[in-house]
Structure 1
């Protein structure tokens, strides 16, 4: 049986082969940025913002 090319198949293949690895890479970059030791002071300060009385 010959495979039928449809817009749905082409779109699904495009999303699977291109966007999924791109979003995984973006996610890993965000996690790496958030957990990088140099950024700890910035995130600690941001975590204390709601508790400050001004």
Structure 2
């Protein structure tokens, strides 16, 4: 029973997010990469992955 409630809430939030993003011209964007920082002990690589919401135009 609790799993059905959680699944229903998840689907409702997902549908609301898609509806609101369509209405307000928002779009989902994902990015991934590596940042290189140089310090006294040599270069350090920091991987990053992100998901963002962008509003406005496509460009």
TM-score using structure 2 length: 0.38
TM-score using structure 1 length: 0.41
Q: Which has the larger radius of gyration?
A: 1
Higher strand residue share:
2
